[in-house]
């Protein structure tokens, strides 16, 4: 490996420095700093309203921040316009509600980004899209519209849609929370495959089994702050803060 | 005067009237849709001044009576040295009124899209224009076929404003006045035109329903 590549490897793919954000009087993110290295998988957990979604959304600049810095591979997020759109296209985002485009076939959902944003020709985009749809196990559904698929299939298609942009990192905001229990694993399996492939990921989830299995680090948020972070087994078995203990008790309770 | 006498004397006049109504309706509706798209894009744009202008446009033209607008266009604009022929005056009036309602239809169609799809598009790196073109407009069009069908009928009825100005050839409503100043067609003279309107509206609804069933988005 050349020195240059080695140096690049040390630059975090995603880095937040002292990020603050308010919604009116509500201080949703308080001095949040977080750094995600290449290939690292960070799981974020925390009570409802603690700012997990907001954190994900600021990384993609779906939300603006009041102060602090967000860097993608060492470059600050552009303010707006084409530059911002380009930067966004380098981060994949998967939502709780799938958010597939309702009027398009699954195949068109996956090729829209590559064709519009990357300017890929139709055949090339479709070839790769079909490959990805096969990888997530919904190739059969390529010509259906989203409403004809189950929730689990829609979420897997949504993951393929993000992957089609060949992102540098993926952000998942509670990707299995809207799913019926029997479909959760089919989506988690796809995510585990991504981890095996070396994808850099931030995952907001309460699936502790998943976190223990693949996370390099668990970050616990409460009231807009990162309260504690650590290796998954350490965190789940020996949480240091009272807030984390209370929270873990509450989700183990049911 | 009986129906057969009315038709044998004025049949051609009615036919011309029907064709005039159809052509003014068609021309108006094409521009109604184009303008409605433009106004709606302005209303959802990230630029506040554009949004204000779009909202203002709709508020003004949705709330002004057709006859008043026609009078302004036909009699006030020439003061500003803008002289349009009578047919154009009627069509412009119809377009301004219709596009305001068309934009309202689009807005309700857009509200069914859901902010999630827009955010997904933004996170893929699509620009505002790309999102409008590939996500918003196609869905807004496909969810508003039925209201737009109603709008097309309303546009046709609005072209009856043409009876208030000297058109040549006259449209359907103008023909009624024409017949009644010459002969005592009475209610019958009106009924013939009414039947033409109703018949056209019926066909428009049938076609609209069919298109709706074909393009409706499964949710
Ligand atoms: N657009 C908004 N305007 C005002 N307040 C908001 C907005 N979005 C979120 N909030 C508030 O910000 C806080 C953090 O919300 P966020 O969605 O980030 O929490 P979360 O940790 O993702 O919660 P959950 O587990 O319920 O998804 C909440 O109190 C929420 O009500
Ligand atoms: Mg959330």
Per-residue pLDDT of A136-173, as tens digits, reads: 999 999 999 999 999 999 999 999 999 999 999 999 99
pLDDT at A222 over 70: yes
* Number of CB atoms found within 10 A of residue B3's CB: 12
User: A87: closest CA among B126, B216, B13, B56?
Assistant: B126
* Distance, CA of A215 to CA of A220 (rounded, Å): 13
Phi, psi for residue A19 in degrees, rounded to 5: -85, 130
pLDDT at A13 over 70: yes
CA distance A188 to chain B (A): 20
At A251 the pLDDT is 85
**List of chain A residues whose C-beta atoms are within 8 Å of the C-beta of residue B217:** 102-103, 145, 147
At B21 the pLDDT is 97
Instruction: With beta carbons less than 8 A apart as the criterion, state whether A235 and A216 touch.
Output: no
CA dihedral sign, ordered A96, A101, A103, A104: negative
What's the gap between Cα A240 and its chain centre?
A: 26
User: A130: closest CA among A93, A161, A154?
Assistant: A161
More confident residue, A198 or B83: A198
Q: Which residues contact B25 (CB under 8 A, 6 or more apart)?
A: B152, B155, B156, B159
For residue A109, give Cα distances in angstroms to A68, A102, B40.
34, 9, 24
Burial class for B12, CB neighbours closer than 10 Å (0-12, 13-18, 19+): exposed
At A2 the pLDDT is 47
Q: Pairing mode, if any, of strands A41-45 and A200-204?
A: parallel
Q: Within an 8 Å CB–CB cutoff, is residue B217 touching chain A?
A: yes
CA dihedral sign, ordered A95, B115, A102, B121: negative
* Distance, CA of A249 to CA of B141 (rounded, Å): 50
User: B29: closest CA among B156, B143, B147, B211?
Assistant: B156
* Distance, CA of B71 to CA of B69 (rounded, Å): 5
Half-sphere exposure of B66 (CA within 13 A, CB side): 23
At A5 the pLDDT is 58
* Distance, CA of A167 to CA of A92 (rounded, Å): 6
Q: Which residues contact B164 (CB under 8 A, 6 or more apart)?
A: B67, B70
More confident residue, A80 or A49: A49
Least confident span in A100-109, A121-130, B109-118, B176-185: B176-185
pLDDT at A71 over 90: yes
Kindly state the average pLDDT of the residues B137-157. 96
In a 3-state reduction of DSSP, which class is residue A231?
coil
Per-residue pLDDT of A17-63, as tens digits, reads: 999 999 999 999 999 999 999 999 999 999 999 999 999 999 999 99
Structure tokens at B155: 């546009």
**Would the CB atoms of B126 and A85 count as touching at under 8 Å?**
yes
In a 3-state reduction of DSSP, which class is residue A230?
strand
* Distance, CA of A39 to CA of A37 (rounded, Å): 6
**Would the CB atoms of B123 and A93 count as touching at under 8 Å?**
yes
User: A84: closest CA among A61, A67, A113, A64?
Assistant: A61
Kindly state the average pLDDT of the residues B126-154. 95
CA dihedral sign, ordered B31, B34, B38, B41: positive
CA distance A108 to chain B (A): 11
For residue A189, give Cα distances in angstroms to A176, A184, A194.
11, 9, 9
* Distance, CA of B189 to CA of B176 (rounded, Å): 6
**Would the CB atoms of B113 and A91 count as touching at under 8 Å?**
no
* Number of CB atoms found within 10 A of residue A42's CB: 22
* Distance, CA of B7 to CA of A76 (rounded, Å): 78
- Is the CB of A52 inside a 6 Å radius of any atom of ligand 1? yes
**List of chain B residues whose C-beta atoms are within 8 Å of the C-beta of residue A116:** 126, 130, 134
Rounded mean pLDDT of chain B?
93
Mutation choice for B interface testing from A102, A148, A149 by most B CBs within 10 A = A102
**Would the CB atoms of B125 and A112 count as touching at under 8 Å?**
no
The interface predicted TM-score of the complex, written ipTM, equals 0.92
- Is the CB of A62 inside a 6 Å radius of any atom of ligand 1? no
Percentage of residues of chain A with pLDDT beyond 70: 96
Mutation choice for A interface testing from B120, B122, B139 by most A CBs within 10 A = B120
Q: What pTM value is reported for the model?
A: 0.88
Instruction: With beta carbons less than 8 A apart as the criterion, state whether A180 and A154 touch.
Output: no
CA distance A81 to chain B (A): 8
Cα of A99 vs centre of ligand 2, distance in Å, is 15
Confidence band for A6, pLDDT divided at 50, 70 and 90: very low
Kindly state the average pLDDT of the residues B86-107. 96
């Amino acid at each position: 490996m050349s020195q240059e590549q080695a140096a690049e490897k040390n630059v975090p793919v995603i880095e937040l420095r002292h990020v603050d954000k308010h919604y009116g009087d509500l201080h949703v993110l308080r001095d949040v700093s977080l750094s995600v290295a290449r290939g690292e998988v960070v799981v974020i957990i925390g009570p409802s309203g603690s700012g997990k979604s907001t954190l994900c959304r600021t990384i993609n600049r779906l939300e603006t921040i009041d102060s602090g810095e967000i860097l993608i591979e060492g470059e600050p997020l552009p303010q707006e316009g084409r530059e911002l759109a380009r930067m966004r296209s380098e981060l994949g985002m998967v939502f709780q509600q799938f958010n597939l485009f309702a009027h398009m076939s699954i195949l068109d959902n996956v090729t829209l980004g590559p064709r519009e944003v990357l300017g890929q020709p139709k055949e090339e985009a479709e070839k790769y899209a079909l490959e990805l749809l096969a990888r997530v196990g919904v190739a059969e559904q390529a010509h259906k519209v989203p409403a004809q698929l189950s929730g689990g299939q829609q979420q897997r298609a949504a993951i393929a849609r993000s992957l089609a942009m060949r992102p540098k990192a993926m952000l998942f905001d509670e990707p299995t929370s809207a799913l019926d229990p029997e479909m959760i694993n089919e989506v988690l399996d796809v995510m585990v495959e991504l981890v095996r492939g070396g994808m850099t990921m931030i995952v907001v989830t309460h699936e502790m089994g998943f976190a223990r299995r693949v996370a390099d680090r668990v970050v616990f948020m409460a009231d807009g702050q990162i309260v504690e972070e650590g290796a998954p087994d350490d965190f789940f078995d020996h949480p240091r803060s009272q807030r984390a203990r209370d929270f873990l008790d509450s989700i183990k309770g049911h | 005067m009986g129906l057969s006498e009315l038709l044998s004397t004025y049949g051609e006049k009615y036919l011309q009237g029907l064709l005039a109504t159809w052509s003014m309706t068609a021309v108006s509706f094409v521009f109604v849709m184009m303008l409605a798209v433009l106004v709606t894009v302005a209303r959802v744009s990230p630029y506040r001044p554009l949004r204000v202008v779009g909202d203002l446009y709709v508020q003004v033209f949705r709330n002004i009576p057709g006859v008043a607008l026609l009078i302004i266009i036909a009699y006030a604009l020439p003061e500003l040295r803008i002289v349009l022929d009578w047919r154009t005056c009627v069509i412009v009036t119809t377009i301004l009124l219709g596009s305001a309602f068309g934009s309202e239809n689009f807005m309700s169609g857009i509200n069914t899209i859901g902010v999630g799809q827009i955010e997904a598009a933004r996170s893929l790196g699509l620009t505002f224009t790309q999102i409008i073109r590939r996500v918003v407009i196609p869905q807004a069009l496909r969810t508003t076929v039925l209201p737009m069908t109603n709008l097309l009928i309303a546009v046709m009825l609005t072209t009856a404003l043409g009876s208030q100005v000297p058109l040549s050839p006259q449209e359907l409503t103008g023909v009624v006045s024409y017949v009644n100043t010459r002969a005592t067609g009475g209610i019958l003279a009106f009924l013939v035109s009414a039947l033409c309107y109703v018949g056209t509206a019926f066909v428009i609804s049938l076609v609209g329903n069919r298109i709706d069933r074909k393009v409706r988005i499964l949710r």
